[in-house]
Amino acid sequence: MTSSMAASHSVGKVAKDVIFGASAACREAVDKYGSAKVTNATIGAIMDDNGQLACIPIVEKVLRTLPINDLISYAPISGVPDYLDMTTSLTFGDHRPDGYTAAVATAGGTGGIHHTIWNYTETGDSVLTSDWFWGTYNMLCREVGRKLVTYPLFDEKQNFNIAGFTAEVDKLMSKQNSLLIIINTPAHNPTGYSLTETDWSAVLDVCREHAKKSDKKITIMVDIAYIDFAGEKNETRKFMRQFSDLPDNILTIFTFSMSKGYTVYGQRCGAMIGLSSSKEVITEFADINKYTSRSTWSNINHGAMALLVAINKDTALQKQFEAERDALYQMTRRRGAIFMEEAKACGLNALPYKAGFFLSIPAKDSAAVCDKMHDDLIFAVPLKAGVRIAVCSVPTDKMRGMAVKVLKALHSA
């Protein structure tokens, strides 16, 4: 008797969900002790200071009043043209790099990452990202027969580890003719780090050096899922100018997501924006990614695209939306600042959080540390190299005093 019907490449696939496990433990504690006593730092979505899932008010209003045909009709495979124009200009703000661009609508940011891995790497190739990374990257690579490898994100002074990055790129480029590099910035998940202008300049120098060999190809995918919670709009996009006039054999792809930026996580709407000095590379980008969309999910959520268009085509509405989103950003900023100030005061070694939904604390046995934190009814996510605290989901008053408790758990684990 066979115990598996799965094709050989799919045998043994189980999505290990540490976040689900942590939030299940948290729910149990809430049932036992009441939500006022429990701190849930596991959720990757913004919860307001009353512990409720936050929705940007104008997003709810516009979504509920969209014409039914915008919600139920098929959308073009590549996406609604206005949506593609708007996601492109929203991605770049005032810092649009010189070069050709094209956009393709995707099922969330995840969809764009999937297409990038599939269309810009060879079967069996290694894809490079930092050692602190969003676990889904690994699954996305493995699902299509690629391998995720990492470089150390920080050096011993907790600066971007350009030496570690360079060494890994050198190694991979000696083995592969093409390389996909995934960089999640600004407001990286899970550390909250944002590459500086200097970091980016050094990263691009390394890529340019390898691109001098005409038989080599490099794709840099910038995962900007958290960009709208990273600081002032044009300040956070300044680095994008550096991508102007890169050689033809370097392609840049920005993966845009409405999940966080519009607080519509479950609507599954995003876009991938390709940038190149070569017109042919961008025509190919639009063609091959449209093809992959047709052959994976067909077209994507029409209503969510209509929502983004409705908000951004009306200047007054757009202003109101940005102000309401900024209020959420300021709330996450305050929460992060409380934790980081207290961490500094008590000597807890938190990674250099700049902004965003998450911050992390290195730990050898992160599961044991998280277990110890349960004594104080604090629930966080144990990652391979440390503990992830979801700043986005913890009410401001519950952030106070948390750093000391994490330190205590670290010492006693």
Stretch that binds ligand PLP, among 102-110, 241-249, 298-306, 372-380 (CB under 6 A): 102-110
Q: Is 192 in the site for ligand PLP (CB under 6 A)?
A: no
Q: Work out whether 116 is an interface residue with ligand PLP (CB under 6 A).
A: no
Report the distance separating Cα 188 and Cα 182, nearest Å. Answer: 11
- The radius of gyration computed from the CA coordinates of the chain, to the nearest angstrom, equals 21
Distance CA(306)–CA(66), nearest Å, equals 8
CA-nearest of 75, 71, 145 to 290 is 75
Using the rule CB under 6 A, give the single segment among 57-65, 90-98, 104-112, 373-381 that binds ligand PLP. 104-112
Answer yes or no whether residue 189 interacts with ligand PLP by CB under 6 A. yes
CB of 243 or CB of 256, closer to ligand PLP: 256
Task: Quote the tokens at residue 36.
Answer: 């006022």
Q: Does 223 bind ligand PLP (CB under 6 A)?
A: yes
Binding mask 26-45 for ligand PLP (x = CB under 6 A): ------------------x-
Pick from 79, 97, 99, 109 the residue near ligand PLP by CB under 6 A. 109
CB of 214 to ligand PLP, least distance (A): 32
Rounded CA-CA distance 254/84 in Å is: 13
Region binding ligand PLP by CB under 6 A among candidate stretches 107-115, 245-253, 273-281, 395-403 = 107-115
DSSP string, 368-385: HHHHHHGGGTEE-EE-SS
Does position 88 interact with ligand PLP (CB under 6 A)? The reply is no
- Separation CA 314–CA 320 (nearest Å): 10
Q: Judged by CB under 6 A, which of 134, 151, 154, 239 binds ligand PLP?
A: 134
* Shortest separation between residue 389's beta carbon and ligand PLP, angstroms: 14
Report whether the peptide linkage leading into residue 190 is cis, meaning its omega lies within 30 degrees of zero.
Answer: yes
Q: Which stretch binds ligand PLP (CB under 6 A): 48-56, 257-265, 304-312, 399-407?
A: 257-265
The yes or no reply on residue 225 touching ligand PLP (CB under 6 A) is yes
Strand, coil or helix: 289 = helix
Residue 126 bridge partners (DSSP): 147
Q: How far is Cα 190 from Cα 184, in angstroms, rounded to an integer?
A: 10
Among 101, 257, 277, 366, binds ligand PLP (CB under 6 A): 257
User: Which residue's CB atom is positioned nearest to ligand PLP?
Assistant: 108
Beta carbon of residue 412, minimum distance to ligand PLP (angstroms, whole number): 30
324-329-331-332 Cα dihedral, nearest 10 degrees: 150
- One of 79, 97, 99, 108 touching ligand PLP (CB under 6 A): 108
List the one residue from 79, 231, 261, 270 that touches ligand PLP (CB under 6 A).
270
SS3 of 140, please?
helix
CA distance 388 to 193: 13
Q: Which is nearer to ligand PLP, 140 or 378 (CB)?
A: 140
Residue 100 binding ligand PLP, by CB under 6 A: no
Regarding 97 and contact with ligand PLP (CB under 6 A), the answer is no
- Output 140 or 311, the one with its CB closest to ligand PLP: 140
**CB within 8 Å of 260: residues ≥ 6 apart:** 45, 46, 225, 226, 228, 229, 357
Judged by beta carbon, residue 19 or residue 202, the one nearer ligand PLP is 19
**228 Cβ contact partners less than 8 Å away, ≥ 6 residues apart:** 260, 261, 325, 329
Per-residue tokens: 41: 């730092």
Spatial distance between the Cα atoms of 379 and 208, rounded to a whole number of angstroms: 44
**Is 194 one of the binding residues for ligand PLP (CB under 6 A)?**
no
The residues with which 220 forms a beta bridge, in sequence order, are: 181, 252
- Residue 397, classified by CB atoms within 10 Å of its CB into exposed (0-12), middle (13-18) or buried (19+), is exposed
Beta-strand ranges (E) seen in 230-385 are 250-257, 270-276, 358-362, 378-379, 381-382
10 Å Cβ neighbour count for 244? 13
CB of 133 to ligand PLP, least distance (A): 8
Min dist CB 252 to ligand PLP, Å, is 16
Decide: is 321 part of the binding site for ligand PLP (CB under 6 A).
no
Q: How many residues bind ligand PLP (CB under 6 A)?
A: 13
Q: How far is the CB of 75 from ligand PLP (least distance, A)?
A: 17
| Interface contacts to ligand PLP, rule CB under 6 A | 44, 108-110, 134, 184, 189, 223, 225, 257, 259, 265, 270
